[in-house]
Structures are given as C-alpha cells and as structure tokens.
C-alpha cells in the first residue's frame, strides 16, 4: 500500500522543479516507491565548497527538497506543506561523483509530518543524515 495521495512520477517531479534551486543544483528525482522517494545530486562546482568537498548546505537543500516534495505527495488536493525545521549531521566527505538521497516518513500527521533523509555516496556509504519537519496547510 502506498502513502502517497497524489500521483507524480520522477519525470513530473523534475518538471515541477524546473527554474528553481532544485534544478540549478542538478537535483534529479529518480524513483517514487510505495513509501519512499529517491533523488540524486552531482558533486561539482555547483554543490562544492571552496575546498572541493560537497557543501553541507547543498546536502541540506537536497534533503529539504526531497522531504518537501514527499510531504506534498502525502497531502490532499487543496493542501500544501512548508518546512518548519531541518537538521543535518554530516558523516563523511564527498569530493566528486554524485550523491543519492533516500527519503522516508517518520510521522505522517494531520498537522505535521517528519521525514528522514539519508544521503549516500556512490559506494553506498552514509554521508549525511537529515530530518525535516513540515507543517500541513489548508
């Protein structure tokens, strides 16, 4: 059984994100599962800090983007979500390639949702773990 109340595939999610920070950073939604959402982000000049490593803020953008889209997919027509808190722990540096985010729900309430986002490198090693809380509006 799926948690989603709206049906959008990765192509539709990527089209929705055009002309935004999401597309500017090269974030691409790649998979919508029954209870999870996946996306990738390149580690390049757009997402690196001056020392050549993946910028922690870019990881947070990936996580918040994924959690916000997941939240949107979990609410009824006429409702929306807005982020109210995000936290991130950075575990491992990444200097090239791409990272993959996996977003899963922790809590799906009528007024708030909490999402866990794991960001992994190309060797499937955990680089960053994030938690996003969103408020449900409407």
Domain with residue 65: its CATH number is 3.10.129.10
User: What does residue 59 show for φ and ψ, rounded to 5 degrees?
Assistant: -60, -40
In a domain, 41, yes or no: yes
3-state class (DSSP) for residue 38 = strand
Report the pLDDT value the prediction gives residue 123, as an integer from 0 to 100.
97
In a domain, 77, yes or no: yes
Residues 23, 69 contacting (CB under 8 angstroms): no
3-state class (DSSP) for residue 19 = coil
Mean per-residue pLDDT for 62-85? 98
In a domain, 129, yes or no: yes
Taking only the tens place, the pLDDT of each residue in 84-130 is 999 999 999 999 999 999 999 999 999 999 999 999 999 999 999 99
| HSE value, Cβ hemisphere, 13 Å, CA-based, for 40 | 12
How many domains are there within the chain? 1
Active-site positions read 64
Residues 72, 103 contacting (CB under 8 angstroms): no
In a domain, 4, yes or no: no
Q: Which domain holds residue 64?
A: 10-137
Please indicate, yes or no, whether the overall pTM of this predicted structure exceeds 0.75.
yes
In a domain, 53, yes or no: yes
In a domain, 74, yes or no: yes
Compute the distance between CA of residue 81 and CA of residue 114 in angstroms, rounded to an integer.
Answer: 11
């Amino acid at each position: 059984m799926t948690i989603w109340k709206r049906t959008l595939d990765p192509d539709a999610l990527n089209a929705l994100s055009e002309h935004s920070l999401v597309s500017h950073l090269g974030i691409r939604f790649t998979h919508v599962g029954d209870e999870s959402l996946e996306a990738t982000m390149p580690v390049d000049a757009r997402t690196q800090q001056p020392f050549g490593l993946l910028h922690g803020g870019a990881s947070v953008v990936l996580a918040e983007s994924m959690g916000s889209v997941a939240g949107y997919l979990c609410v009824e027509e006429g409702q929306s979500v807005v982020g109210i808190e995000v936290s991130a722990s950075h575990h491992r540096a990444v200097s090239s390639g791409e990272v993959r985010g996996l977003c899963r729900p922790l809590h799906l309430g009528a007024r708030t949702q909490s999402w866990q986002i794991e960001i992994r490198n190309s060797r499937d090693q955990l680089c960053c773990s994030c938690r996003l809380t969103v408020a449900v509006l409407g």
